[in-house]
Structure 1
């Protein structure tokens, strides 16, 4: 272990700044509205990439995997967190083999974290799915996570994809919805009086439990 690195980390403790409070007793009955409230708060506070989340899955060998991606929507009716992915990507294949996942988001400026776990449902992407030219080109190139010979090889494929007919459908693109079974909200506090609230779904609806931090 690097003693120098340990000293640097100790000298920079997390969350030593003013953070918002969280009155768990006033939380809504279901988690999706609270998540949307916190997300909008992060956007209003100009947290960089506030809509970026970490999606965790498990591969066929049982090895956990995680990557960051963009949250596209929250469906309150299904308590669903919506994201897009290529069905032929590693995450798409992992979700097909075991359609359960976890999602984590952290907004550092606000000291807020949300954890979502549940089953994942997939549906074909609608024809009108809106993507930037760059995102569309990257999807057309495909071959995500496959070995790449050189950066020049990717640049050539990307340039060709940018010039492709805009009406050309993007193969394999899928809309996924993580339908929450549990959602946990965590509000950090500079004095370490953190607040944790867990929602759990049952046949009769949602329950809320305050947790030790």
Structure 2
């Protein structure tokens, strides 16, 4: 364990050229700043910058986190999708509040969003499901996420059967597929610095719009 501890301490962080970030020049709306940072990550070659860690809590107060893909962001909030019968779907039914975390290591940038979560109307959920790739839809139609799996052959046979079903019924939609929207009550932007002079800017909603506040890192 001592060797691993030493290895972890020696891993370089904040390597390479990091972007500038001036909080004074930031827009009044966090969606606009998030969009700017996302486009910058894409231009900088960050792989899968739309991947985000979703943190939820179950009915007993036990937290869980996993990585999924951001579907959209706008005035309504940050959107992601999942099967309502999955563990995260059950968590959101029991406690409809969550956190999203984006981390773009190459840029030493992090964005954290917290707030209540609500499902979108059925037509929006259907449209999101049909926009998925065929393989993703076939897997989702199985409705077995996180259930015990006997072996990989069982998985392959089930997916093959689901794909065949989709060929016969291309408009088939999982009845439990859900598009969720997180309406933020907090959005924080963090810019790392090699000298540990990190910058942390928080947005909080008010009756008149958004309030910006620098925070100690």
Structure-1-length-normalised TM-score: 0.95
What is the aligned length?
A: 210
User: Is the contact made by 2:126 and 2:173 (CA closer than 8 Å) also made in structure 1?
Assistant: no
Aligned match of 1:110 in 107, 112, 119?
107
**Higher mean C-alpha deviation, range 86-95 or range 158-167:** 158-167
CA distance in 2, matches of 1:49, 1:127: 22
CA distance in 2, matches of 1:6, 1:97: 38
Residue 126 (structure 1) shift: 3.1
Give secondary structure in 1 for the equivalent of 2:17.
coil
Residue 162 (structure 1) shift: 1.3
- Which structure shows the higher helix fraction? 2
**Higher mean C-alpha deviation, range 27-36 or range 162-171:** 162-171
User: Is the contact made by 1:85 and 1:175 (CA closer than 8 Å) also made in structure 2?
Assistant: yes
Query: Which sections of structure 2, spanning at least 5 residues, go unmatched?
Result: none
Off by >4 Å, runs of 4+ in structure 1? none
CA distance in 1, matches of 2:208, 2:9: 46
CA distance in 2, matches of 1:185, 1:57: 20
Residue 11 (structure 1) shift: 1.8
CA distance in 1, matches of 2:127, 2:51: 24
CA distance in 2, matches of 1:20, 1:158: 44
User: Is the contact made by 1:90 and 1:145 (CA closer than 8 Å) also made in structure 2?
Assistant: yes
- Would you say 1:179 and 2:173 are equivalent positions? no
CA distance in 1, matches of 2:137, 2:80: 15
CA RMSD of aligned residues (A): 1.2
Query: Which sections of structure 1, spanning at least 5 residues, go unmatched?
Result: none
**Higher mean C-alpha deviation, range 190-199 or range 9-18:** 9-18
Residue 203 (structure 1) shift: 2.6
- Would you say 1:148 and 2:152 are equivalent positions? no
Q: 1:74-121, CA deviations, whole angstroms, 9 ceiling, x for partnerless residues?
A: 01x23x001111111111111111110000010011110000000101
